[in-house]
Amino acid sequence: MLLRSEEEEEEKGGRAAGEMVRGKTEMRRIENATSRQVTFSKRRNGLLKKAFELSVLCDAEVALIIFSPRGKLYEFASSRWVFKIVMRICEIRFITWAFSKTQFKV
C-alpha cells in the first residue's frame, strides 16, 4: 500500500520512495583498469549501434572510427565507400585550411 505522499508523487510523475534512480555519470577517467575496459566495450558497442541506427533511420552516410586504449581499431561504415566519405572530410578540411591561409595574407 502506498502512503499518501508516494501517491501524490506518482500522480505528479515523480518516483515512489525506495525506487532506484540512476544519476549522471561523472565524466572523468576510470581508475580501475578492469572497470575501464568493461565501460569501453559497452560504450563502444552502444556507439556502433547508434551509428548504424542513424544511417538507417536518416539515410545518412556514416563513418565511425574508434581506437581502443590498446590501439585496436573498430570501425563502422554505412556503405562500402568509406574512402569516399573520408576523402570528402579531407577535401573540406583542406579547402577550409587553404581559404584561411589566403584570407590572412597581407
Contacts of 86 (CB under 8 A, 6+ apart): 63
Counting every residue written for the chain, the total comes to 106
Higher pLDDT, 70 or 2: 70
What gap in Å lies between CA 72 and CA 67, rounded to an integer? 5
| pLDDT above 60: residue 5 | no
Domains and CATH numbers, the chain: 29-103 (3.40.1810.10)
- 3-state SS, one letter per residue, for the chain: CCCHHHHHHHHCCCCCCCCCCCCCCCCCCCCCHHHHHHHHHHHHHHHHHHHHHHHHHHCCCCEEEEECCCCCEEEEECCCCHHHHHHHHHHHHHHHHHHHHHHCCC
pLDDT tens per residue across span 74-96: 988 888 777 677 778 878 877 88
pLDDT tens for each residue of 31-67: 999 999 999 999 999 999 999 999 999 999 888 889 8
At residue 1, the pLDDT reads 46
